[in-house]
Chain A
Amino acid sequence: MTWLLTMLWACAPADPPADGAPPDAVDHLIRASVAVRGLRPDEAEVAAVRADPGALEGLVDAWLDSDAFGAAVRDQHAEMLHLRGHVTGKLPAIGPLDGVPTKDLDHALDEAPLMLVEDIVRSGRPYTEVLTTDRTFTNALTAVVHGLPYDPDGPEWQAATWSDGRPAAGLLADTAVLQRYQSSLSNHHRGRGALVLSAFLCDGVLEASVDAGVPPEIDDPAEDRTLTDPQCARCHASLDPIASAFFGFDRYILAKDVTAAYAAGCPDGAPCFPLPMWRPDDEGAWADVGMPAPAFRGRAAADLEGLAATLAATDDFATCAARRFHGWHTGRAYRDVPDDVAAELASVFVASGHDARALVKASVLSEAFAEAPARSVRPEEIARTVEALTGYAWQADLGPRLGTIGLATDAEHGLRGLLGGTDGWDLLDPTRTSTASQALALDWLAREAAHHVVATEAAQPRVARRLFTVVDPGPAAEADTRAQLVRLHDVILQWRPADDDPAIDDALALFEAVTDASDAATAWEAVVAALLQHDRMVVL
């Protein structure tokens, strides 16, 4: 009976679009779903919006409570903070971590601060806590690295509080973030100051073009020109007081230093695990090198904690958050978000008590979002969507030393950069167009996922299947084949063309061409693979 109902449902004509294109409401649904949680909507969600376009708001509310939303928040902040993919600041699996696959440790170090952001956002705590909390998140590996308490019988990721006395400054006091933004002795934590300005205030001090003009003569090697040259001082006047607040944190701990420390038997003060990142005796050392006292826009701050709290309370922080979230949702750089859109979203955000969920909801339900230019799908989005549709996780086993990686999400050994993503170091801006490397990578993913799902569903009773509910993935009469093709379009692309639509004609032609060249099962694989890299999947 269930089988019959499934058949009837799959074949039932439903709200046929006049021109074969999805209605605007469904298009908005798809884009909102991918923006919020990196996943396309499922059949029930599409049906709800087809029946009532106003259902989108309730769906967004539901998505904000999902794990996929948390994953997307992590994706967004990984790109913002340049946290995934790079090797700078990574640590060796040594000492108590001996034998841990390198990629597992790299992944844990990158994800810990992102898990904190996810927790703040999903729990509805004020987003300002990303700069003010004394908490972090840890798994079993980072607990060893940072010396944090961890319950091995608890969940994989657990909240923890820094116990070394470091300032309560959220991400700004997180070792993984500090390790990514290292500082030489002569640079006095300015890279970390630039992170603050860029990531949280959208003041792209490093992106800005500053003409240094003709350099002056430097005879005194101790002179810091950034403090004396008016051309330099323009930026440094805002940057340096923020940088001074980071004194007390180690400038960096290199992997080779950790290895050497273990080789030497971990003498006192050596960088063995847990890493001695916070050195309170250095907290006031900015004065020793001629740096200004910690301050934010002229307001003195006792330390990083005070500075972070001050800037988190500014209008610019809220506006920047609005730019960052809406830019992520629409596939644009934060600087390309129109001022009026950012201001309107920021007002919603502030009125909600800095609840990022309210910001996300306002962003994706806004007219500006609905009318935003088309964009290319991100690596995480396509991989997550394909896995949800087919059950296929696109991974590679790199052996016991390195471990297993997600091919769409790893830039060093995987294809993240080639799919248009960033690598956290060399490649800091996503590629916003399709490329040949993306096309080749998507074909690889689509082909393997199609192979997997066709084989899997062929072995299942039809009632248990998601894609092949009309026919088995083999030969069939043309009418049934067309009905199955409609079903595949509906489930994969959330688009239900009529069975005589030109799109179905083309899909049938593909099916028949591959059947002639091979067999029907291979042809169904080709059709599924084609739909998984269809323009409606790749260009949102």
Chain B
Amino acid sequence: MSPTRRSLLAAMGALALWPRWVGAQGRGRRLIVVHAWGGWDVTFALDPKDRALVDGPYVDEDAGDPSDRATVEVLGGIPVLVDGRRRPSVTRFFERFGGSTCLINGLQIGAVGHPDGVRRILCGSPDLERPDVTALVGADDDGGRPVGSADLAGAGYPGTLGATGLRVGPGEQLQALLDPSARPPGPSPLRATDAAPEVHDAVRDYLQASLARRGATADEALARQLDDRAEALERAAALRAAPPALPPATTGFGNDVARALALLDGGTARAQLLDSRQPWDSHVDQARQHDAYEAFFAGLGELMAGIEAGGHDDVVVAVVSEMARSPRRNVEGGTEHWPVTSAMLLGAGVHGGRVLGATDDGLRARPLDWGTGLPDDAGDVVPYDAFVAGLLAHCDVDPAAWLPAATPFTTPYS
């Protein structure tokens, strides 16, 4: 958050003088968080277990076909359970990006409800008002970009930092906001054409002057709302001045990947939140995890390839899920929520080709030496807040300001 800048501008009554963004690069890494909402079954690929210990993907194999067997292979330094028949994209992903992936197993979420777990892994806290990590990173320093953060998932927690960020919408909403020609027809023939830039500027200056005048005598709560409105107007103007070249909307994770890459290329936001758009919450029909892994890792591969091709070497990618799945299938062939999960970090400053942490045979988190990341009974498990605090620190955001009780887990970056 940058209260000093915003407060200063408001006090000056001169928010209209806010610089017009031109996509300049600021300090600090950019961040993309990809959330696998619902809880992935880590035993399908990321945290392989012996088939005697878990049902995992094994019970879907054809017992009469010896070639139908998932096996553990070390890809890019990372042991992964691979199944070329059902989840070939997982294999391809780790073959290409395993060397730049830091996999963390045994991440202790501690919650078994979705909302609670989501807040923990995205915000580092169960606190209902705490902003998520993308909002925090984007608000701390947008680097001169139009907005600090962009929520493509639709499920981010901006908290008090909403004015710094942008909700993108599930379809072509942002295109319609920025380009009147992309708007759907209205029932009335009186669709307005877009105003000339000088009209936009004149209206904005008028609105900012009014905000400043009203803010001068406002109480604290009103002043905060007016301040946010002033900032939102400026960020909207910056977006209008430098609109991202978003692709036509499709569906699924591939849609979000394409849009995320367009926002990266356009220098629109410092941080982004995506959702994997897969049905991980498999209380019934656990076999759907095969398809979810396949589709998700295909998309994740496209995202990483796009980041690489775009030369966005300042981008760190965190892939998280708010929980995992219980080791045994239930009577409906599904699994229940499990409070220990895995996460992946890739990209800028991440020491890849490694697995940090571990789970035991019962899929419980094992303590580890935080210096090496290796299991150590004398060490501590890695809790969710340490993971988020480490990510904040890696993005040059002081974690103590938001997560004072957390010890940042920085091993993935060393």
A→B interface (CB under 8 Å):
19, 21, 184-187, 206-222, 225, 232, 333, 335, 373-376, 392-398, 404, 411-415, 417-418, 420, 423, 426-429, 431-441, 443-444, 447-448, 450-452, 455, 502-503, 506-507, 509-510, 513-514, 517-518, 522, 525-526, 529-530, 533-536, 538-539
Q: Is B378 an interface residue (CB 8 A)?
A: no
Given contacts A335-B128, A395-B186, A418-B169, contact A433 B110 (CB under 8 A): no
- Complex CA–CA separation, A413 to B175 (angstroms): 12
A530 near B206 (CB under 8 angstroms)? yes
A436 touches B236 (CB 8 A): yes
Residues of chain A contacted by B332 (CB below 8 angstroms): 184-186
Chain B residue contacts of A413, Cβ below 8 A = 171, 184
Question: Once bound together, how far apart are the Cα atoms of A323 and B225, in whole Å?
Answer: 23
Q: Which of A427, A451, A538 meets B190, CB within 8 Å?
A: A451
> 21 A-B Cβ contacts within 8 A?
A185-B331, A186-B331, A206-B116, A210-B116, A218-B327, A225-B336, A395-B186, A396-B185, A413-B171, A417-B167, A417-B170, A431-B158, A434-B232, A437-B166, A447-B192, A448-B190, A502-B213, A510-B206, A513-B198, A530-B207, A533-B207
Chain A residue at minimal CB-CB distance from B108: A214
In the complex, A507→B206 CA distance in Å? 7
Taking CB atoms, residues of chain B closer than 8 Å to A225 are: 336
Encode B310-347 as 1/0 by CB contact (under 8 A) with A: 00000000000000001111111010101110000000
Choose one: A212, A218, A396, A435; the contact of B186 (CB below 8 Å). A396
Complex Cα spacing A505 to B163, Å: 28
Contacting residues, chain A, for B224 (C-beta < 8 A) = 374
Complexed CA–CA distance, A370 and B79 (Å): 62
Bound CA span A82–B37, Å: 18
Q: How far in angstroms is the closest Cβ of chain A from B195?
A: 6
Chain B, interface size: which category?
35 or more
A212 CA to B108 CA in the complex, in Å? 10
B169: chain A residues at CB < 8 Å are 415, 417-418, 437
Residues of A within 8 A of B239 (CB): 436, 440
Give CA–CA (A529, B155) in the complex, Å.
31
**Contact A373–B222 (Cβ < 8 Å):** yes
Establish whether residues A396 and B198, one from each chain, have CB atoms under 8 Å apart when the complex forms.
Answer: no
Least CB distance, B173 to chain A, in whole angstroms = 6
Task: Please name 8 further chain A to chain B contacts, defined as beta carbons within 8 Å, in addition to the given A185-B284, A432-B162, A436-B235, sorted by A numbering.
Answer: A333-B128, A374-B225, A434-B162, A435-B165, A448-B191, A451-B192, A503-B210, A526-B203
Contact of B187 among A214, A395, A423, A437 (CB under 8 A): A395
CB < 8 Å neighbour of B111 from A21, A185, A210: A210
Q: Check if A433 sits within 8 Å of B225, measured CB to CB.
A: yes
In contact, A215 and B203 (Cβ under 8 angstroms): no
**B221 partner residues in chain A, CB cutoff 8 A:** 373-374
In whole angstroms, how far apart are the Cα atoms of A503 and B177 in the complex? 28
Q: Which residues of A contact B178 (CB under 8 A)?
A: 440
Closest residue of chain A to B285 (Cβ to Cβ) is: A184
Separation in Å of the A343 CB from the closest CB of chain B? Answer: 22
Chain B: minimal CB distance from A504 (Å): 11
Contact B326 A218, beta carbon cutoff 8 Å: yes
Question: How near does chain B come to A14, taking the closest CB pair, in angstroms?
Answer: 21
A447-B200 Cα distance, complex, nearest whole Å: 10
How far apart are the CA atoms of A506 and B187 in the complex, in Å? 34
Q: A426-B154, A510-B206 are in contact. Are A433 and B228 (CB under 8 A)?
A: yes
Please give me the residue from chain A that is nearest to B110 by CB atom: A211
Q: B326: nearest residue on chain A (CB-CB)?
A: A218
* Beta-carbon contacts under 8 Å, B147-172 to A: 147, 153-155, 157-158, 160-163, 165-171
The interface residues of chain B lying within 8 Å CB-to-CB of A444 are 176-177, 180, 183
A428 neighbours in B (Cβ, 8 Å):
115
Contact A506 B210 (CB under 8 A): yes
Q: A184-B284, A219-B328, A437-B174 are in contact. Are A375 and B192 (CB under 8 A)?
A: no
Decide if B158 touches A433 in the complex (CB within 8 Å).
Answer: yes
Q: Among the interface residues A215, A333, A439, A448, which one has the most CB atoms of the partner chain B within 10 A? A: A439
Chain A residue nearest to B340 (CB atoms) is: A215
Flag if A518 contacts B155 (CB, 8 Å): no
Report if A517-B190 is in contact (Cβ < 8 Å); known contacts: A376-B225, A539-B225: no
- Decide: A435 near B167, CB < 8 A? Known: A396-B186, A533-B207: yes
B112 and A212 contact, CB distance less than 8 A: yes
Asked if B69 is an interface residue, CB under 8 A from chain A, the answer is no
Are the C-beta atoms of B165 and A436 separated by less than 8 Å? yes
> Bound complex: CA of A526 vs CA of B188, how far in Å?
20
- Pair B229/A434 contact, Cβ less than 8 Å: yes
Q: Mark B352-379, 1 if CB is under 8 A from A, else 0.
A: 0000000000111100000000000000
CA distance A438 to B232 in the complex (A): 8
B46 at the interface (CB under 8 A from A): no
Residues of B within 8 Å of A19, CB to CB, are 217
Residues of chain B within 8 A (CB-CB) of A451 are 190, 192
Contact call B112/A529, Cβ cutoff below 8 A: no
Chain A nearest CB, measured from B381 CB (Å): 9
Contact present for A427 and B163 (CB under 8 Å):
no
Pair A538/B222 contact, Cβ less than 8 Å:
no
B126 at the interface (CB under 8 A from A): yes
CB neighbours of A417 from chain B (8 A): 154, 167, 169-170
B163 x A232 contact (CB < 8 A)? no
CB pair A232 B112 closer than 8 Å? yes
Is B209 part of the contact surface with A, judged by Cβ < 8 Å?
yes
On whether the beta carbons of B199 and A517 are closer than 8 Å, the reply is yes
Question: Inside 8 A of A518's CB, which chain B residues have their CB?
Answer: 196, 199
Q: Is B233 an interface residue (CB 8 A)?
A: yes
Task: Name B203's contact: one of A186, A335, A452, A530 (CB within 8 Å).
Answer: A530
Beta-carbon contact of B339 and A434 below 8 Å: no
CA distance A232 to B218 in the complex (A): 47
Task: Identify which of A208, A433, A448 contacts B160 (C-beta below 8 A).
Answer: A433
| Interface residue? B113 (CB, 8 A) | yes
A412 to chain B: which residues have CB within 8 Å?
Answer: 170-171
- 0/1 string, B87-107, CB within 8 A of A gives 1: 000000000000000000000
Docked-complex contact B240 and A215, CB < 8 angstroms:
no
Tell me the nearest residue of chain A to B171, going by C-beta. A413
With A and B bound together, what is the CA distance between A404 and B187 in angstroms?
Answer: 8
| C-alpha gap A435/B183 in the complex (Å) | 20
Q: A449's closest neighbor in chain B, by CB?
A: B192
Nearest chain A CB to B333's CB is how many angstroms away? 10
With an 8 A cutoff between CB atoms, is B303 at the interface?
no
Q: A431-B167, A514-B199 are in contact. Are A186 and B228 (CB under 8 A)?
A: no
